[in-house]
Amino acid sequence: MKPDGTAFYYADYHSMGSQTYFEYRCPCCSGTLGQVVADYGMSSYFLDERGVFVNLYAPSRLRWRPRGRSITLEQSTAYPLTSDIELTVRTETPETFSIRLRVPAWAGDRSSVAVNGQRAELTRGGFHEIRRPWRDGDRIELTLEQPVRLEPVDAKHPDLVAAMQGPLALFAVGERFLPLRRHDLLSMAQAATGSSEWRVTTADGTQSFRPYFAVGTGTTRLYQNAT
């Protein structure tokens, strides 16, 4: 968002792309922005008779009253810039219910879950259910390993690929773009833990990548010709 409140721009996915703001402050699509932001909160958790689904990972707090008794689930995380998520149960009396954690299919082999420090086998590619009597202060520690993977633009162009880590599409940024091969892209890593910058180093130099929310101004390239 700009200082004057302008928040709508066009996403450009060409080989030399950029973020272009619309010339007016309130085009028709701007109204959707507030609706989408509100939907994140509505879509973070779902409830049924067995308990709660944790659908999105973000710092948040859920309160609900099964059978008239108040339960709170607190979530602490910097995901997706880090892989660790912690959830803490707050309840005045022990309650038995299910907590189901969404585990994406791309989650790596080193993904893990532990309850009060006791690790358990993790189900990937769906919701992992933990059902037990919960007491005040019980803690879940979930780690979602986010290996870099390459996604082609379509089936007819398998060598035109976007680098993905977890849920993030990573855009090459900078004044020039280096030629990169598949193994170069797969070797990219965050500049530091929790950073919003990734780097690839080759004999030609270092190429920086950022997720779209951290791109800012300048030229970008999402799809790399990685023959």
pLDDT in tens, 79-130: 999 999 999 999 999 999 999 999 999 999 999 999 999 999 998 999 999 9
Are residue 107 and residue 93 in the same domain, yes or no? yes
Are residue 216 and residue 186 in the same domain, yes or no? yes
Are residue 89 and residue 111 in the same domain, yes or no? yes
pTM above 0.85, yes or no: yes
Are residue 23 and residue 80 in the same domain, yes or no? no
CB 43 within 8 A of CB 56: yes
Q: Give the domain range for residue 126.
A: 44-143
Are residue 156 and residue 216 in the same domain, yes or no? yes
Are residue 64 and residue 135 in the same domain, yes or no? yes
Tally of domains in the chain: 3
Q: Which of 170, 57, 162, 178 is nearest to 113 (CA)?
A: 57
Side-chain half-sphere CA neighbours of 171 within 13 A: 25
- pLDDT tens across 187-220, in order? 999 999 899 999 999 999 999 999 988 987 789 9
Residue 166: per-residue pLDDT: 94
CB 163 within 8 A of CB 177: no
Q: Which of 157, 197, 179, 211 is nearest to 222 (CA)?
A: 211
Are residue 217 and residue 161 in the same domain, yes or no? yes
Are residue 165 and residue 96 in the same domain, yes or no? no
> How is 83-117 classified by DSSP, letter by letter?
SEEEEEEEESS-EEEEEEEEE-TT--TT-EEEETT
